Every structure is written in structure tokens, then in C-alpha cells.
């Protein structure tokens, strides 16, 4: 495996510069997602004006009075939406030092009951801050524009692997389940690094991450080493999720990554957009050409030794229950096994 000092940069606009350039882009995309699983994406067409607006409104949200933020705290949402205070989420069993607001696709809630898969509990409304009404409009625009970019990438990736460009479309045609997290990392490192978010792989399909200009902290595992991935002007950091690893038998690899907290006196805004299919979708398994199939590495397990599950909703629900035990205890106690000790992490029942 070739050593890396920084993530590769790919230019999406090459798809519009003729057949040869488009083919070269798809070949580079296949190579990078196989070897690294992470890259910077430029030429994506998302306006700087919208980018500046979403970052400014994110700062305004986190500057609201604590009463305004807690009025939409996620413990009020069975769908794990809304505000999470600093220290209110776990990754790899450890506390994440960040505050955030989670926004999903706005839909009516699905009532649990016989014959209704548990993962449908994740569908429902968002919690929006009354004190910042323009926030919702900007986030809705962000979701629409990044969904378009992500679908373009996904279709290019399918073609690069020898499949029809639209092979994944059905999984996203109805009830796609994208998620936006708007995150603030307060400065906690002093000077020894402190966890912002622990090492993990993303459980969905693709992630497009906007990092506040001039800020760092994201680290990507490659060849047993951690590579720093600071902000690059005009780019998104893109990474592969576990559902694409599953679809390709491990030819594409969902890569471990983590975030280190900024130094005391600083902070950092980041906005990951998770491009996910419908909760009841199972991603199609791609039939790779022999020269690609021989390089497929099989499926990984996450840092908690949990296998990738076939149906996206099962993956998503497992992660939510594990990351937000307070919300799970309030709204989904029937899905939790008795904890062996008070500090133990809630586990899914064996038949889930």
C-alpha cells in the first residue's frame, strides 16, 4: 500500500469536459475509493454563497442561548433528531466532545407495531429552532444540492466498476434517508489531543463533509497511520460508507476516521452530509470484473466488532441506539437488552 501524506483531490467538473476526461475521472475515482476510501472533491458546483450562508447560520445556532438549544434537545425526538449537548454522544464507547444538531428528511412519524420493522422508528419530523427561522430554509437547500452531487458521484462510481450508472438509483428513488449533522467542536485539547469524535466507519453510502475554512482535526486511517485532513478551500471531504463496502464485497473499503478536538481557546464547525438510501433498502451486490473481484478484501467489522448488516435501516438503528443511549432509554427501551453493569453500553437484542 502506497504511503500517503495527504488525501487525493478529485475534480467532479471533469465529467463535463468530454468523454476522455469523464473516463479518466471515473478511473481515478475507482482507484481512490478502493485504495483510500477518502478524498477531497472540488468542481462540485455548490455555490460559495450557499456554503458561506450555511456556515454563518451554523455559528448563529451554536451562539443561541442554551435554553433555545435545549428546547429542541434530541431526548425529545424518538427519531434522534435535534440538539445534542457537549458530551451527549458516544463513539466506540467513549464520549465525543462536540455539540450538534441532527436534521433528517422531514416525514411523518411511523408508529411502531406488529409487522413494522424497528428501523422505521427513525423516520419522522425534525426539531427546528424557533429562535433562528432562516436556519431551516438554508438546511433544506443544502440537502437538495448535496443530494445531487452525491448521486452524480454514486452513478460515476457504479460506471467505474463496470455496472450501469443507475444500478443504485432504486434504493434512493423513494424515501431516501439522508442526514445532516451540524457540529461544533469546542477546544478541549490542552495541549494533549482529546477525542472530538472517536474512530469509526460511516454506516451509509457516501459522506460529503464541509469543514470550516482553515480548520483541521479530521484524521483518516491509511496503512496503519493517521493522515491529517484539514480544510481545503472550495472542497468537500468525501468518504465511502459501509453500504458500498457491502455492495462491492469489500473492493471499496469504508475507512476508519476520527476527529481530534481543537486546542483550548479555539473551536471548529463541520457539516457532514450522509447520503443514505431508504431504510428498507438492501444495496445491490455488484458483479465485478475478474481483475477487480480478485482485489476485493471481504467485509470489515467496525471498532465494536459489529458486522455490516444487509438492510440499511438495521445498520442505522444499531448506530443510533449505541451512540445515544439517553434517547434510546427514553423512547426505545424495548429494543435494549439489560445492561450487565450501570456503565455498560446498551446492546441490541439478539434477535434484532
**Structure confidence by residue, pLDDT tens digits, 311-333:** 899 989 988 998 899 999 999 99
Q: Alpha-carbon distance 239 to 126, whole Å?
A: 25
C-alpha cell at 94: 467513549
Per-residue confidence at 88, pLDDT binned at 50, 70, 90? low
Per-residue confidence at 351, pLDDT binned at 50, 70, 90? very low
On the question of pLDDT at 46 being above 50, the answer is: yes
In the predicted model, what is the mean pLDDT of residues 106-125?
Answer: 95
On the question of pLDDT at 191 being above 50, the answer is: yes
Structure confidence at residue 188 (pLDDT): 80
On the question of pLDDT at 339 being above 60, the answer is: no
Per-residue confidence at 92, pLDDT binned at 50, 70, 90? low
Q: Which of residues 196 and 119 earns the better pLDDT score?
A: 119
In the predicted model, what is the mean pLDDT of residues 193-221?
Answer: 90
DSSP class of 336: B
Contact between 228 and 177 (Cβ < 8 Å): no
Contact between 101 and 74 (Cβ < 8 Å): no
**pTM surpassing 0.85?**
yes
Per-residue confidence at 126, pLDDT binned at 50, 70, 90? very high
On the question of pLDDT at 100 being above 60, the answer is: yes
In the predicted model, what is the mean pLDDT of residues 134-149?
Answer: 97
Closest by CA to 28, choosing from 131, 156, 198, is 156
Closest by CA to 107, choosing from 88, 79, 129, is 79
Residue 284 CA to chain centroid, in angstroms?
Answer: 20
Amino acid at each position: 500500500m502506497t504511503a500517503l501524506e495527504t488525501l487525493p483531490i478529485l475534480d467532479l467538473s471533469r465529467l463535463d469536459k468530454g468523454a476522455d476526461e469523464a473516463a479518466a475521472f471515473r478511473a481515478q475515482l475507482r482507484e481512490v475509493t478502493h485504495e483510500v476510501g477518502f478524498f477531497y472533491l472540488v468542481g462540485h458546483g455548490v455555490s460559495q454563497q450557499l456554503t458561506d450562508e450555511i456556515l454563518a447560520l451554523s455559528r448563529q445556532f451554536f451562539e443561541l442561548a442554551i435554553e433555545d438549544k435545549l428546547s429542541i434537545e434530541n431526548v425529545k425526538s424518538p427519531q434522534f433528531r435535534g440538539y445534542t449537548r457537549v458530551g451527549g454522544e458516544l463513539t466506540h464507547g467513549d464520549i465525543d466532545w462536540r455539540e450538534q444538531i441532527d436534521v433528517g428528511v422531514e416525514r411523518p412519524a411511523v408508529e411502531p407495531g406488529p409487522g413494522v420493522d424497528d428501523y422505521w422508528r427513525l423516520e419522522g419530523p425534525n426539531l427546528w429552532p424557533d429562535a433562528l427561522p432562516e436556519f431551516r430554509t438554508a438546511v433544506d437547500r443544502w440537502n437538495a444540492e448535496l443530494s445531487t452531487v452525491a448521486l452524480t458521484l454514486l452513478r460515476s462510481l457504479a460506471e467505474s466498476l463496470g455496472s450501469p450508472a443507475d444500478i443504485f438509483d432504486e434504493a434512493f428513488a423513494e424515501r431516501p434517508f439522508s442526514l445532516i449533522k451540524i457540529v461544533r467542536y469546542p477546544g478541549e485539547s490542552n495541549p494533549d489531543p482529546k477525542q472530538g469524535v472517536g474512530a469509526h466507519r460511516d454506516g451509509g453510502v457516501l459522506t460529503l463533509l464541509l469543514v470550516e475554512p482553515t480548520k483541521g482535526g479530521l484524521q483518516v486511517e491509511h496503512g496503519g497511520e493517521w493522515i491529517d485532513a484539514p480544510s481545503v478551500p472550495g472542497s468537500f471531504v468525501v468518504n465511502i460508507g459501509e453500504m458500498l463496502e457491502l455492495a462491492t464485497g469489500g473492493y471499496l473499503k469504508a475507512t476508519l476516521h476520527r476527529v481530534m478536538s481543537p486546542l483550548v481557546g479555539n473551536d471548529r464547525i463541520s457539516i457532514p452530509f450522509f447520503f443514505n438510501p431508504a431504510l428498507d433498502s438492501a444495496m445491490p451486490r455488484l458483479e465485478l470484473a475478474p481483475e477487480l473481484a480478485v482485489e476485493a478484501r471481504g467485509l470489515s467489522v467496525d471498532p465494536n466488532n459489529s458486522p455490516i448488516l444487509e438492510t440499511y435501516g438495521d445498520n442505522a438503528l444499531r448506530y443510533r441506539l449505541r451512540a445515544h443511549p439517553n434517547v434510546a432509554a427514553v423512547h426505545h427501551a424495548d429494543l435494549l437488552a439489560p445492561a450487565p453493569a450501570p456503565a455498560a453500553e446498551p446492546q441490541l437484542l439478539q434477535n434484532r
